[in-house]
Amino acid sequence: MKKILILHTGGTIAMQENEQGAVQPNLINPLYSTIESLSTLASVIVDDYLNIPSPHMTPSLMIDLAERLKERASSDQLDGIVVTHGTDTLEETAYLLDLLLDWDLPVVVTGAMRSSNELGADGPHNLISAVRVASSDSACGKGVLVVLNDEIHTAKNVTKTHSSNIATFQSPQYGPIGIVTKRGVFFHHTPSVRECYPVKKLSKKVALLKTYAGMDDTIIEAVANTDIDGLIIEAFGQGNVPPQVMEALTKLIERKIPVVLVSRCFSGVVQDTYAYEGGGRILKERGVIFTNGLNGQKARLKLMVVLEQTTDKYTLQEIFYK
Binding site for ligand ASN (CB under 6 A): 11-12, 53-55, 86-88, 111-113
Helix (H/G/I), strand (E/B), else coil: 231: strand
- Tell me, yes or no, if 87 is annotated catalytic: yes
Minimum CB distance to ligand ASN, residue 37 (Å) = 22
Phi, psi of 240 (to 5 degrees): -130, 150
Minimum CB distance to ligand ASN, residue 151 (Å) = 16
Separation between Cα atoms, residue 284 and residue 261, nearest integer Å: 10
Our CB check for ligand ASN shows the closer of 109 and 209 to be 109
CA-CA-CA-CA torsion for 24, 27, 28, 30, nearest 10 degrees? 10
Q: Which residues, in sequence order, are CB contacts of 177 under 8 Å at separation 6+?
A: 142, 145, 152, 153, 154, 171, 187, 188, 189, 190, 191
Q: Does residue 263 have a known ligand-binding role?
A: no
**How many Å from the N-terminal Cα to the C-terminal Cα in the chain?**
37
Our CB check for ligand ASN shows the closer of 34 and 87 to be 87
Our CB check for ligand ASN shows the closer of 57 and 185 to be 57
Query: Cα 176–180–184 angle (5° rounding)?
Result: 135
Contact 273, 280 (CB under 8 A): yes
Q: Does residue 87 have a known ligand-binding role?
A: yes
| Given 34, 84, 87, 291, the catalytic residue | 87
Minimum CB distance to ligand ASN, residue 140 (Å) = 27
Closest among 313, 305, 316 to 256, alpha carbons compared? 313
Our CB check for ligand ASN shows the closer of 160 and 302 to be 160
Separation between Cα atoms, residue 104 and residue 175, nearest integer Å: 22
Minimum CB distance to ligand ASN, residue 93 (Å) = 10
Minimum CB distance to ligand ASN, residue 55 (Å) = 6
Our CB check for ligand ASN shows the closer of 111 and 230 to be 111
CA-CA-CA-CA torsion for 317, 319, 321, 322, nearest 10 degrees? 170
| Given 12, 154, 168, 291, the catalytic residue | 12
Q: Does residue 54 have a known ligand-binding role?
A: yes
Residue list, annotated binding site for substrate: 54, 87-88
The residues carrying an active-site annotation are: 12, 87
Residue list, annotated binding site: 54, 87-88
